[in-house]
Each structure stands twice: as structure tokens, then as C-alpha cells.
Amino acid sequence: MAIPSVIHRPHAGFTLLELLVVLLIIALLAGYVGPKMFDRLELAKVQTAKGQMKSLGDALNQYRLDNGHYPAETLGLNALSERPASEPNWHGPYLPKATPPDPWNNPYQYKNPGTPPNEVEIISLGRDGKAGGEGTNADIVFGL
């Protein structure tokens, strides 16, 4: 009976140093790419806010067509989803649900009258939720 010969193979795998080098490369790439991706995310939120404000503006225009005027500032954007007692020609709801918050989860502000030449304005205070600011913290104003 023949005895099978044993073939020795070197152990397959990585050394600790090789693993550390790969982890260092991944960390460097994440440090470079990560901030750029988060900037893009914030810019996408700004574009989302502008899109939502356009939809709110369309609903406000429909409200104006039915009632002859935009809702009073005291009624705010809630007049688009809930019938105001003072509006006999209200044919809403003009929004399928209550007014959504902006992408930073803050409520949109509504001004009537707006800053000329805008009759009314919808405002998002941006990422920081405070008036003013720069970049993604800047206020976003949509006027009608």
C-alpha cells in the first residue's frame, strides 16, 4: 500500500502589516471623499426645499384662484390643508396632507405681504434654522 505524500503549502493570508496598510488607505480615502459627499447631501437638501416651496406656491396659487386672495399670514400655510372658517369659496384641500417641514425638519414660514415685488413669500431658514447665514445655512425665499 502506497503512502500518500504530503505537500506543504505556505499559509494563505495577510500579515498584520499588510492589513494595517490597507486600513490606512481606506481611512485616507474616506477622509477625502466623506466631506465631499456630505456637501452634496446638503446641496441636495437645498434643492429639495426649493422643490417643496414650488409645490406650496402652486397650492397657494390655486387657493388664490378659488378665494380671490392669498391666505392671511395668521392662517399661514395651514389654510392649504384645513378649511378656514372665513373662506366660503374654499375648494381644498390644496395639499394632500398637512404642510411638510423643510428638509432640516423646520416649519416653512409664510409672509403675507411679502417683500416687494413679492405679494407673498415662503421661507426656509436653511440648515441652521436661524435667519440669515451663508451657504447651506442661508435662508431660501420663494416669492409669488
Residue 88 pairs in a beta bridge with none
Distance (Å, whole) CA 8 – CA 91: 84
* pLDDT, position 124: 93
Does the pLDDT of residue 4 top 80, yes or no? no
Q: What angle do CA 56, 57, 62 make, to 5 degrees?
A: 95
Strand ranges (E), the chain: 109-111, 121-124, 140-143
Distance (Å, whole) CA 139 – CA 119: 18
Distance (Å, whole) CA 12 – CA 94: 66
The model's confidence at residue 130, banded by pLDDT at 50, 70 and 90, is confident
* pLDDT, position 28: 86
pLDDT tens-digit profile of 44-86?
889 999 999 999 999 999 999 998 999 999 989 999 998 888 8
Least Cα distance to 79 among 122, 116, 142 occurs for 122
Does the pLDDT of residue 111 top 90, yes or no? yes
Going along the chain from its start, the domains and CATH numbers come out as 35-143 (3.30.700.10)
Q: What is the pTM of this model?
A: 0.71
